[in-house]
Structure formats: structure tokens, C-alpha cells
């Protein structure tokens, strides 16, 4: 194992000394099956191999479950302190678990800790039944979300990831799920915990230790999900952030957990050593104004719907980036967060990306008196 680490380190040093060597010319995570290294904010793929081949995803399945759990909470359909009664179906789950008992009551927050830290199949099913009514319906929701995210090689048959016929995903699809999940930053507060306790003040105190050891042993790693079954082998989707750049690394089918952790660490090293991002615009940048017909305010300030970053190789330098805002006149009322147009991002005059545009603050519709006063003032200004 020490020899493997020296070989991987040697590769990274060679890349830094020879900046024209591209990731495609080396083989990151050589012992894995499907492999992807993505920069999260741009979605750009830094490295991939067999990324669209379908494999059993094991407990990385739970990333899609967690994505739906987070959406339910943020939409107000479920609350952190809500108490969930555990069904017989949930408590009967095998594999990794937090030893839930039938009719036991546990908060959503503690159940989510059981999912994200301990990879509890029982906790996953308990929350899946809470959100979907039944696990079967929740799995339908998972597959609908997969279509919405544009996943091409994913089909779920359960919420937890135990091996089942026709239950599969790919490294690229898992990276896209992870990209969606990290946008819900609250989940990282759970997935970054190395150890904690459930039922702390009871005689059923349960010690949770994160199945993702990199949250302790690799600086910057704060998630996301390990996986293992006989069919899947050792899998991991890890995410790490340094300064403004967040990477997502996915591996399927590693031979053991040590190799999995070493190879994912080497992937992250490669990404952070060779690449950086430039922030072109933040989600609060004023990118112009547009007229609002019949609004209490005559103009709305336009902002991107998200931060706009550009990935570049450190050895090559920053790219020549320009942008163009495309928004027509608006009509009140209009709310902050509403999509009102888009902004095209160009590299050397070539369109590389489009991002939605919204407004900085909501604008209500003006009443008749307000519109009349504005009309009179416009006449006076024209005299």
C-alpha cells in the first residue's frame, strides 16, 4: 500500500512539473471501475473513465434519498424536529442500520444523521416512508428526480442501495446527484461529522461512526456517501472544498476500503493541484436593470440565479470570459427567484454556458393612484 501511495504521488509530481500532461493521459483510480472527477459549481468533468457504464451503486443510492429528504424539509413538507414513528418494514431492514425498533419514535434530524453518517438502511426507509407515504412511492419519486436531473444510466428499485435486480447507476450520474445534493449545504453539516451518538441519554445509546473515513483524514472532505455490497464492491462519492473550489470524486467497484480511500484521495489531490476556478459573477452581482411594467418600482435589478465560476488549469492561466444578459421587459407582480431571462457565458466569443437570471428583490404591482401619479410626473418631466 505504501508503494501504491508513492506511485500515485509520483504521478502528481510529474503532472505539476509537466503542465501540458492532461488527466486523459494518466489513469486515476486505476483499480476502480467507473470513475469521475467533477468540479461542482461548473459541472465540468476533470477526469472520467467508464463513466456511463451501469453498476450496482450500493449505499451511494442514499444520496438521491437524501436529496429528496432535503427538498421536503426546505419546502416545508417535513421539519427537522418532527417525530417519525418507525414501521415494521423500516425496522426489518438488514445490512447497515442504527437498530431502529418497530414503533420507535425518532426525530427527522436524528434519522438523517443515521442515514448520512451511519448509512442506516432502516433510517433511510423510515424517512422514505415519511416523505413518500410508502417506500415504493418514494422510489418512484427518486426515479422522477433522476429524469429531472437528466440522468441517463440510473434506475432505482429501493431507497437504500441493497443489491436488487435492475437497480443501477453510473459514475457520471452519481456525480450529478452529488452536485444537486451539495447545493443543499445543510446536508454537509451531517455528512462531515466523524462520530456522534443517537439516543445519547438512554440505555440504547448508539455510537455513530462515519463510514466515510476521509472526513477525518483528508482536509476539506465534508461528504458524501460510501457504499459496499458483494455485487457493487467498495464505492465512494466524496466531496471536498478548498477555497472557492468544490470537487466531487466518484469511484465504483474498488477491491477494498483502503484502496478506495487512497485512490479517491489521489483524485482530489490531482484536481486541487492542477485546477482552480475564477468567479466571474456572484449570485448577488448587479448585471443590469430592466423595466417593470405597472410595478411599484419602475426598474428591477438583475442578478444571476447562482454564482458563475469558470474552471481553468493553473499552468495555462485564466480564460478570456465575456457574458451577455438576455432579458425582456417584465410585468408586475414579480418575485425574487422568478426566472426572468438568462445570461450567456462566452470563452473567446464561443458560447460555453447559459445561466438563469432573476431579480434582486420582489416588485409588487402598483395601484391605480400610483400609476396615475407616475403618469403625471412623466408628463411634467417632458415639458
Q: Where in the chain is the domain with CATH 3.40.710.10?
A: 2-275
354 assigned to active site = no
pLDDT of 4 strictly over 60: no
Cα gap 198→204, rounded to integer Å: 8
Could you confirm whether 335 is annotated as catalytic?
A: no
Kindly name the residue from 33, 62, 225, 294 that is annotated as catalytic.
62
Structure confidence at residue 140 as a pLDDT band (50, 70, 90) = very high
Distance CA 143, CA 167 (A): 11
Q: Which of 41, 119, 159, 169 is catalytic?
A: 119
Work out the pLDDT band at 129, boundaries 50, 70, 90.
very high
- The Cα 223–Cα 197 span in angstroms is 18
Q: Which of 59, 116, 169, 191 is catalytic?
A: 59
**In terms of DSSP bridges, do strands 330-331 and 289-293 run parallel, antiparallel, or are they unpaired?**
parallel
Which residues neighbour 34 within 8 Å (Cβ) at sequence distance 6 or greater? 49, 50, 51, 52, 53, 55, 170, 171, 172, 250, 251, 252, 253
Query: Yes or no: is domain 282-382 CATH 3.40.50.2000?
Result: no
The stretch 9-20 carries a mean pLDDT of: 46
Which numeric CATH code is attached to 2-275?
Answer: 3.40.710.10
Tens digits of residue pLDDT in 304-355: 999 999 999 999 999 999 999 999 989 999 999 999 999 999 999 999 999 9
In this predicted structure, which of 1-15, 139-153, 174-188, 218-232 has the lowest mean pLDDT?
A: 1-15
- Is residue 254 predicted with pLDDT exceeding 70? yes
All CATH 2.60.410.10 domain ranges of the chain, comma separated, are: 282-382
Strands of 271-348, DSSP E: 275-281, 289-293, 299-304, 308-313, 321-327, 330-331, 341-347
Q: Is the pLDDT of residue 2 over 50?
A: no
* pLDDT given at position 372: 65
Checking if the pLDDT of 226 tops 70, the result is: yes
Rounded Cα distance, 105 and 82, in Å = 10
**The pLDDT value given to residue 326:** 96
318 among known catalytic residues: no
Amino acid at each position: 500500500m505504501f508503494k501504491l501511495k508513492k506511485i500515485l504521488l509520483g504521478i502528481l509530481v510529474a503532472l505539476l512539473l509537466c503542465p501540458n500532461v492532461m488527466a486523459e493521459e494518466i489513469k486515476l483510480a486505476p483499480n476502480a471501475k467507473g470513475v469521475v472527477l467533477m468540479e461542482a459549481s461548473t459541472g465540468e468533468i476533470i477526469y472520467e473513465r467508464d463513466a456511463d457504464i451501469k453498476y450496482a451503486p450500493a449505499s451511494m443510492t442514499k444520496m438521491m434519498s437524501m436529496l429528496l429528504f432535503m427538498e421536503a424539509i426546505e419546502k416545508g413538507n417535513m421539519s427537522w424536529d418532527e417525530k417519525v414513528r418507525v414501521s415494521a418494514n423500516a425496522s426489518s431492514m438488514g445490512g447497515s442500520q442504527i437498530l431502529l425498533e418497530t414503533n420507535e419514535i425518532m426525530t427527522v434530524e436524528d434519522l438523517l444523521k443515521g442515514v448520512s453518517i451511519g448509512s442506516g438502511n432502516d433510517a433511510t426507509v423510515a424517512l422514505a416512508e415519511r416523505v413518500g407515504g410508502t417506500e415504493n412511492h418514494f422510489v418512484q419519486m427518486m426515479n422522477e428526480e433522476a429524469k429531472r436531473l437528466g440522468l441517463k444510466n440510473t434506475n432505482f428499485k429501493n431507497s437504500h442501495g441493497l443489491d436488487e435486480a435492475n437497480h443501477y447507476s453510473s459514475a457520471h450520474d452519481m456525480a450529478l446527484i452529488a452536485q444537486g445534493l451539495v447545493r443543499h449545504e445543510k446536508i454537509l453539516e451531517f455528512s462531515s461529522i466523524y462520530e456522534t451518538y443517537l439516543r445519547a441519554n438512554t440505555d440504547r445509546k448508539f455510537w455513530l461512526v462515519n463510514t466515510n473515513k476521509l472526513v477525518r483524514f483528508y482536509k476539506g472532505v465534508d461528504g458524501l456517501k460510501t457504499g459496499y455490497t458483494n455485487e457493487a464492491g467498495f464505492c465512494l462519492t466524496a466531496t471536498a472544498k478548498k477555497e472557492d473550489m468544490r470537487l466531487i470524486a466518484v469511484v465504483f467497484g474498488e477491491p477494498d476500503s483502503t484502496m478506495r480511500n487512497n485512490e479517491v484521495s489521489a483524485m482530489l489531490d490531482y484536481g486541487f493541484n492542477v485546477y482552480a476556478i475564477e468567479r466571474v459573477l456572484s449570485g448577488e452581482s448587479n448585471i443590469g436593470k430592466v423595466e417593470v411594467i405597472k410595478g411599484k418600482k419602475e426598474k428591477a435589478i438583475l442578478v444571476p440565479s447562482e454564482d458563475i465560476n469558470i474552471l481553468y488549469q493553473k499552468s495555462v492561466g485564466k480564460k478570456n470570459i465575456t457574458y451577455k444578459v438576455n432579458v425582456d421587459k417584465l410585468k408586475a407582480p414579480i418575485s425574487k427567484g422568478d426566472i426572468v431571462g438568462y445570461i450567456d457565458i462566452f470563452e473567446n466569443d464561443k458560447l460555453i454556458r447559459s445561466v438563469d437570471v432573476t431579480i434582486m428583490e420582489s416588485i409588487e404591482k402598483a395601484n391605480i393612484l400610483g400609476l396615475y401619479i407616475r403618469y403625471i410626473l412623466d408628463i411634467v418631466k417632458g415639458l
